[in-house]
Amino acid sequence: MSAWPTPTPSAPTFDLDELTQPPRCAAQLIGAPTWHQQGAVIPLARKAAALLAMLAFDGSATRVGTMALLWPETPEDTARNNLVQLRRKLRDLAGHEVVLGREVLSLSPLVPTDIVLDGPPLQVVPDGELLHGQRYDDCPDLELCVLEWRERLDTRRFWQLRSLSDWYERQGQLEAAVRHVTRWLRLDPCSEDAHGRLMRLYALSGNRHRAVQVYCALERTLRAHLDVAPLPATQRLLQSLLAGGDGLPA
């Protein structure tokens, strides 16, 4: 039997205890971007937040590409100076270098973030929108990058919630499985996969009435948002549950 640590899905964890060099700090980029250091929470400027997000997602970036992304249509000398000043402000904030490198930039390992895209789903990506409240309409390419990063984060979050719900179901911990699928539905209310899983979990728990309610909610949501009916497979699942089945493949 697999033994995952109990996940803590509601809040970001930065593993500050693993850092050996003070001062301890972390960047929270999901939700309103903030800098956390020694108990203080400091709002991050929008381009500082974008730079940290880019390095957290991509691992590294060229200096030239970074300047073009953050300061488009700005003379090269001015953009270079802007980047120097931005790095200096982050260094002053942290007490050490935050962005490393000269021609190729990377994020210091002393600066953890709440963006985790690799590894098993031991901890679910926190709820919230990446760089919430930040506008980048003056930087069109950066704006597109932010949209792509948000999609990648959503994909990771859905995969984690799906994997955790499957794992808890295999352990017979149906309430925990329901909790993770319910959170998945809050993030993606039109997901037929999540609705079907929740229907099946309620049926396995002996609550077929609740499973039917989930189907009815799906039907209303799809009609309101997409003007479509549930897929035939979801309709067959409902009929199976009404006939006394558990929704599992025969």
pLDDT at 177: 96
pLDDT in tens, the chain (250 residues): 444 444 444 434 444 444 444 447 999 999 999 999 988 999 999 999 999 999 999 999 999 999 999 999 999 999 999 999 999 999 999 999 999 999 999 999 999 999 987 766 556 788 899 999 999 999 999 999 999 999 999 988 888 899 999 999 999 999 999 999 999 999 899 999 999 999 999 999 999 999 999 999 999 999 999 999 999 999 999 999 888 765 554 4
Q: Can you give the pLDDT at residue 141?
A: 97
213 and 141 share one domain: no
230 phi/psi in degrees, rounded to 5: -60, 155
Residue 34 and residue 95: Cα distance in Å, rounded? 16
Note down the domain range covering 219: 189-242
Instruction: Please report, for the domain that includes residue 118, its CATH number.
Output: 1.10.10.10
Specify the number of domains making up the chain.
2
In 3D, which of 198, 231, 191 has the Cα closest to residue 213?
198
Structure tokens at 124: 């679910």
SS3 for 100? Answer: strand
Is residue 234 domain-shared with residue 124, that is, in the same domain?
no
Specify whether 27 is located in the same domain as 136. Answer: yes
Residues 98 and 199 in one domain: no
Same domain for 232 and 142 = no
